[in-house]
Amino acid sequence: MKLRYTFVGILTLLSALLLAQTPQSKLVGHIADINGSALAGATVQLNGTTGSSGLKVETNANGDFLLELSPDEYSVKCSHIGYRSTHEDIRLIADSTIHMEVTLAQDVTLDEVVVTAGRIAESIDEVPSSISILNAKQVQEQANINPSVASILGNTIPGLGTGTNKATNSGQTLRGRQVLVLIDGVPQSTPLMNGSRDIRTLDPAVIERVEVIKGATSIYGNGSGGGIINFITKQPDSGKSFGGTSSIGTGGNLAHPSNTMGYRFSQLFTGTVNKFSYVFSGTYNYTGVLKDAKGNVNAQADGLGENSLYNIFTKLGYRPNDKSAFMVSYNLFRSVQHSDYINTVGKYGEDPSIGVKGENLGESAGTPYNHNILVSYQHSALPYNTVLDATAYYNRFVSMNRYVENGTAWYGPGQTKIQSFKKGIRVNLHTPWKMSDRFGVEFTYGLDLLNDLTNQILTDGRVYIPDMDMVNLAPYAQLKFDLWDNLVLKGGLRYENASVKVQDFSTIATGPNGEGSVAIKGGTIPYHATMFNAGLRYNRYAVFNPFVSFSQGFAINELGRILRRAQENTLDQIETDPIITNNYEVGFSSRIRMFHFTAAYYISTSKFGANLVDVGGYLTAQREPEHVQGYEVTADAYLDEKWTTGASYSFVEGKAEQDDGTKVYLNGIRIAPLKATAYLAFRPSSITELKLNWVYTGSRDRFEPRANGTYANSEGPITSVNLLNFSAMYRISSKILIGLGVENLLNTAYYPVVSQYRGIDAEYVRGNGASVNVNLSYSF
């Protein structure tokens, strides 16, 4: 590197001497990434109409460069490894100075690194399964449109249901099954009793990237029949002792702005001082009244209108040497709704439920708090080049449902909340062996210990679901063979050794004087299962990179729903078998010049399911064999430095087999309609980017209405929805960035998928009308 700088310096000096007789001009520039961080070692290449063609120089440690040139017209190309290059034409006149501010975006065509696929860091091209990754820039683009994480993922991830336009993510399954949500590997989901609030457990401001592993997997234990969503939080900036980003924003309904304005404040500090590193972040986001395209207030149950969100995040690191590192992080998320509106119930299929002024009883619905504490230690100098990664974590999560004046599952009014307390330890070891120049083996092994205590109670003290105290000790081992440099073979197993302890309890009364309550004798439910996975990927040719895989997932899913409707008087008589999901998949990725394609076809089966079916007005889990299948296709085209386009298409269908052999469709809670997305991005200059996004959900009509003409819960027909969203980012300077996003650009009057399939008058609510968000950020 020193020689390179010396050589460039000599070239620059010689050029200056040769041009000494000509009036000189100066080109002064600064190159940074999209977050404003300086890019050292970036290359600046100039081609002039005469003279200085092919001249190159690299930026210094501060991302700056300076060139003295003869007057001419130049084409300036700026590039850096891992970033998309830019071209700009300039004209230098005698004795003038031109200043350039260049922003380089990450090159999404490069191989990404996935840290959760096998509990180690590995290239995505070596993983024999389908994985989607959203980087920080993509998260930022989508957050400009709608800052709800559920909407961000629903609009971008193939195979994942679209956002519900609510504070819950009910029905937002991955490939027709429940997904396990993690923050830096810490579980957020409550699979013992799914509260459907696990995707919205942090703010986009603290997300570094999102990794979505699709298909059943047992990598992180209970609850991942459909896959894993792992939020990777912000990493400390190693290039600065003190830096950060300050952001402010506002937004509201474009067509009907009255009372809809919201606002947002976010502050992040980051840096590295000697052996210590840090990230501190705080965000407050208030959403105003939400209205549909007709101007009606959307005061739906569990809505996001008049919602206050707080997110406090801290990450501290200490690296005593280059072989070991300590890290501790804390994340607090709170999101609750204080609405001045109540619902006027509409008519399903005819008129929407809308909001009118009124007083909401009970406590504010939402997520009162979600605490995460993570402590980790990594050491990379153990014998045989073994790397140790040990973590301990604690999660305390509470979700508050809306208050109801007349309960259907209990006597009288009430309001329930799900409480989950999780703590665990993970010990992960990774040992590589190089057998020869063409053969290598990597051995990953360890032990997970998890304690999950979950219940559901009413705020007045009544118990709806008793304490379910689960302890799971799970050893695992994974082998990865690198054969002939291009063939990757992976296989492994995990032994789930779990038990759930339930004390004696009585189901909640459905009438006065304890009427309808059933006394249940408690006990301990054991669960033992050995989970397998195997996969093969051939990655020699970029034009065709195929894989085939088999994997299993383990879930003690919706046990709480089974217990709260129990009729037998002992725990031993209740059907509580776990859900073992088998996932078979074949797929490929392909890069052909400017084009990038991926495709996958999968089949997912389970002997026992948990399809929620309307039985006597209650959603009851059906323990029937299930068969789910589907496919996903993506395509991206990087046309030139200014234009990029892409699209995705995903389809899933599923059935359950009843005792008499009849196969019935899984309902809307499980199976989303087909989804297609497309985008067109335009970068007219290095400081401006415009992007148009299209999200389409197809129709689905699988169920007949009942004799009275109504549909059973979650069996309503779904009609197609077309939505256009728009985002724009303009860099005023290397430090100041303005972002603009418009959701539902054409102000389409539509009903979200969840409002359609639920088939319930009170939940038949339109989606948001055209809404705009404007954000201004300053990086330092």
CATH value at residue 18: 2.60.40.10
Q: How many CB atoms lie within 10 A of CB 436?
A: 6
Mean per-residue pLDDT, 378-387? 92
Q: What is the CATH number of the domain that holds 137?
A: 2.170.130.10
Structure confidence at residue 8 (pLDDT)? 40
What mean pLDDT comes out for the span 132-160? 95
In the predicted structure, residue 112 carries a pLDDT above the cut 90: no
Q: Given pLDDT bands bounded at 50, 70 and 90, which one contains residue 617?
A: low
For β-strands 545-555 and 523-538, DSSP reports them as antiparallel
Least confident segment among 76-90, 360-374, 430-444: 76-90
Q: How far is CA 609 from CA 40, 526, 551, in A?
A: 54, 18, 17
How confident is the model at residue 659, as a pLDDT? 86
Residues 145 and 275 in one domain: no
Q: Does one domain contain both 431 and 495?
A: yes
| Phi, psi angle pair for 131, to nearest 5° | -140, 135
Lowest mean pLDDT among 91-105, 364-378, 532-546: 91-105
Q: Tell which wins on pLDDT, 327 or 218.
A: 327
> Which pLDDT score, from 0 to 100, does residue 301 have?
73
- Residue 379 sits in a domain of what CATH number? 2.40.170.20
Mean pLDDT confidence for 361-367: 93
Quickly list DSSP for 262-278.
EEEEEEEEEEEETTEEE
Q: Is the pLDDT of residue 15 over 60?
A: no
Is 254 in the same domain as 393?
yes
- Same domain? For 306 and 252 the reply is yes
Cβ 290 vs Cβ 260: under 8 Å = yes
Question: Which of residues 213, 229, 245 is at a domain's end?
Answer: 229
If asked whether residues 222 and 239 sit together in one domain, one would say: no
Question: Is 513 or 152 the better-scoring residue by pLDDT?
Answer: 152
Q: State pLDDT tens for residues 415-474.
A: 999 999 999 999 999 999 877 767 889 999 999 999 999 999 999 999 999 999 999 999
Overall average pLDDT of the 254-264 stretch: 96
Answer yes or no: do 375 and 302 share one domain.
yes
CA pair distance 336, 250, nearest whole angstrom = 19
pLDDT reported for residue 686: 76
Specify the amino acid at residue 203: D
Q: Are residues 681 and 747 in the same domain?
A: yes
Pair (636, 760) in one structural domain: yes
The two tokens of residue 19 are 């041009």
What's the Cα-to-Cα distance from 342 to each of 169, 305, 749, rounded to whole Å? 21, 11, 21
> Is the pLDDT score of 53 beyond 80?
no
Range of the domain at 599: 230-779
Element at 742 (helix H, strand E): strand 736-743
Quote the pLDDT of residue 109: 54
The answer on pLDDT for 23 being more than 70 is no
Last residue of a domain, one of 197, 229, 261: 229
Query: Is there a single domain that holds both residue 146 and residue 100?
Result: no
How confident is residue 3, by pLDDT bands cut at 50, 70 and 90? very low
Tell whether 187 and 94 lie within a shared domain. Answer: no
**Number of domains comprising the chain:** 3
Query: Which tens digits make up the pLDDT trace of 324-346?
Result: 999 999 999 999 999 999 999 99
pLDDT reading at 84 higher than 50 = yes
Query: Which stretches within 208-285 are classed as H helix?
Result: none
pLDDT category at 46 given cuts 50, 70, 90 is confident
* pLDDT averaged over every residue in the chain: 90
Asked if residue 615 and residue 659 are part of one domain, the reply reads yes
| Percent of the chain with pLDDT strictly greater than 70 | 94
Q: Are residues 119 and 82 in the same domain?
A: no
Residue 304 falls in which region: left (phi positive, over 0), alpha (psi -120 to 50) or beta: alpha
| 734 has a pLDDT exceeding 60 | yes
Lowest mean pLDDT among 58-62, 657-661, 720-724: 58-62
Percent of the chain with pLDDT over 90: 69
Among 36-40, 350-354, 616-620, the range with the most confident prediction by mean pLDDT is: 350-354
Among candidate residues 104, 128, 155, the one where a domain is terminated = 104
* Of the listed ranges 243-257, 264-278, 286-300, 556-570, the one predicted with least confidence: 556-570
pLDDT interval class at 351 (50, 70, 90): very high
Whole-angstrom Cα Rg for the chain: 28
Q: 8 is written with which tokens?
A: 């460039």
Least trusted range by pLDDT, from 334-343, 432-441, 651-660, 670-679: 432-441
The contacts of residue 679 (CB under 8 Å, 6+ apart) are: 644, 645, 646, 647, 691, 692, 693, 694
565 touches 557 (CB < 8 A): no
Higher pLDDT pick, 88 / 193: 193
pLDDT tier at 16, thresholds 50, 70, 90? very low
Give 357: exposed, middle or buried? Use CB within 10 Å, 0-12, 13-18, 19+: exposed
Q: Are 160 and 637 in contact (CB under 8 A)?
A: no
Residue 214: name the closest of 115, 125, 133 by CA: 133
641-to-86, 87, 139, 595, 684 alpha-carbon distances in Å: 6, 8, 21, 14, 9
Range from 10-19, 72-81, 708-717 carrying the lowest mean pLDDT: 10-19
- The lowest-confidence range among 453-467, 619-633, 739-753 is 619-633
